[in-house]
Chains A and B, each alone.
Chain A
């Protein structure tokens, strides 16, 4: 009886319910879904924070399917850096702790770009719908990349408030590098003007949009020779979009270069750097991309 009265007395007390004690911040590991985000995090993270990008080499992180164990590693991370814009399709069906997710491209643009490759379909009572893709190579617009980096900065400051000043200072340095790249890419694009340009893959939407480039894309693999169908597609495209320059994600085969040269099209490697390079880092890859583009467009002297 006494026990019951005590319980009721407790139940009647006016004490505010307390939130459970905040979870101790996980010893810091930051997991990213692509290399550019991992690079930004590495540049900004204070010492003691491990930045991990677990995708194996030679796979496109956008279409990579991690194993349950790898998803478990993401779940245990202190921060999970997503690109946003539908990048890394696996994150749509994976269970990730929402409280530790940072969608870096969120809020960086009013509207994301579409890939323009959609098949609308209808089945059942739900009406017609399509799965039009969203363009996701956001970091090729250097200003967008900087916005993404600033979101990473905010998350890192929240994770390790004691390092706020150092993290802010590191972003300033990264901002200087990205701004420099932005100026050079813009210069290259201005030199090219509104002349048409081609791309071997539809991954340059944000580059084109940010710097005013008129890019049309095909689906050529740099390490595969062009077949008759590819050539036919190219000829029909060039007929309505007479481009003199074509961007490739990696160095194309010599036959491909020769074939394109015969059509009057020069090739330029502009590596989106979704995976870490064998040598150097994101900045050196982007600097190389910019130099090659600036050389090809005549904006800068070729080395």
Chain B
């Protein structure tokens, strides 16, 4: 593989792996605030115990999100130095703001949230949970602003020495693409957390253990989940799709596998893109739906790839097509599953309907896959541009970092992340097996030594 491909793979691998953690912690932060609020309002110790349990899960994932996140900021400079040099005056700003406004906030109040429950008054502990939530959601915002500028550059000047600078601070933060992406992305994070919480709840009910907590987790997970899953598709996904169709027609055509521009374009539910023959093999299509989804009328014409110069096609077209279809297909499944679960919850049958408990328990990996596929859709769809319309991906990599060097560090990260994956599975498995009523570990240890 050449150096450019390796730099791309390097970033793709490390960012994909990293985002397994924040998507849970951002969503879980919201659920923790809800649990703490219910504990405060009702005075029921069950909610305190539940939030302590989820705080443990949160802490493990947050730590791994932090340690896998640091390499991301470094990699802009190490592997993509030309890109950094030219755009640092724009995207360096939201990245620095993320560090200064959110990492300090999170690091300060996470410690208080995790260790301060007995020392702080109730309101102060609630506030620390809220600030951790706010910090993680602000953090996501600054990252999305950065990516949105690469998707849809706004509020910039090109200076005579070939570098970009911000022309309007609020223009950069107010990039409409950023707000659409942000809504869609944060909703996706809530979906992940809601599925994970319902999955653990379903597990406990199926195992007939900790059933009080199993029911609490299920109820919260399903109620939040059904709302998030619906909002994920409409309006956030819908609006974002229309935005892509307007601003990145090549990406939209690639996502949908549309080669020829047609009026009343069909939506293809499944199939295999054949780039040589410029068609979709074995298509399962529904006529006119795509035109309707994008333009609100079945007669509208949707631009196909053949209308677009070949050098502006997304470079890995089949992967783009599959990513998008996996995301959209899973998103549809999520709505169906959560709607059924919410209906059963309303009818008071959820806790005993074992078939749906099985489905909920087994579905927890799927939002991770859907979120990853969604990001792949956005980032592959942006190709061959690094900054859409301004800088091509091939221009952005570090000039003096060779293929061998890039592979060296990629393999290092593969090894490092294998270790992290093993620890992650062991720790989460242990925490879930011990359950919400497990004695606090440090105290337990101390009482053991006291004996």
Q: Decide if A and B are genuine partners.
A: no
A interface residues (Cβ-Cβ under 8 A, vs B): none
